[in-house]
Amino acid sequence: MTQPTILATDLEGVLVPEIWIAVAERAGIERLRLTTRDIPDYDELMRGRLALLREHRLTLADIQRVIGAIDPLPGAVEALARLRERVQVIILSDTYYEFAVPLMAKLGWPTLFCHSLEVDEQGMISNYRLRLPDSKTAAVRALRELRFRVLAVGDSYNDVGMLAAADAGALFEPPQNIVADFPHFPVLRGYNDLLAFVEQETQR
């Protein structure tokens, strides 16, 4: 019997633009442009972000206003619809539910596993709460334990664990430093490549 297949995909950089880069551009804070493409240690990255938000007095509501103006990447909605005709799709992201709602609405409400934020009385983000460490990799392993065939795509350092844990993993339009550090993963250049990757892997 053929195993049912799930595609586990990252969100930012694959389906939508990087949220923190959009915030950096709107607020004029260059250091907020750093993402998991630049800093492998997620805790170091988030601690730096929270310190910058406190320094510049940016609240959760300020960030949500920026996110509300973000649209999916060109072709993402159509590609996601086509992918969901072929396989089940789960978005595994290191973003936060408090950020993601308007983006999920624009993508047609796909399933999303991500994290949560702690917010103080002034509306400032005081901390972040991971569902569990390296949750993307844990989710892929759990899905395989449930006897699903799992394909995974992502573009950053925090995606490589889930790519390695999947039955087949690929990088989606990654920066050159990620390609250089992980040359064993195939590189997908655009949604046609992603659709072809899924089509090929579901025929195995």
Residues labelled as active-site residues: 10, 12
The answer to whether 159 is a known ligand-binding residue is no
- The verdict on whether residue 173 carries a ligand-binding annotation is no
Tell whether 12 is in a known binding site.
yes
3-state secondary structure the chain: CCCCEEEEECCECCCECCHHHHHHHHHCCHHHHCCCCCCCCHHHHHHHHHHHHHHHCCCHHHHHHHHHCCCCCCCHHHHHHHHHHHCEEEEEEEEEHHHHHHHHHHCCCCEEEEEEEEECCCCCEEEEECCCCCHHHHHHHHHHHCCCEEEEEECCHHHHHHHHHCCEEEEECCCHHHHHHCCCCCEECCHHHHHHHHHHHHCC
Residue 18 marked ligand-binding: yes
41 is in an annotated binding site: no
93 annotated ligand binder: yes
Q: Write out the binding residues for substrate.
A: 18, 49, 93-94, 136, 158
Q: Write out the binding residues for Mg(2+).
A: 10, 12, 155
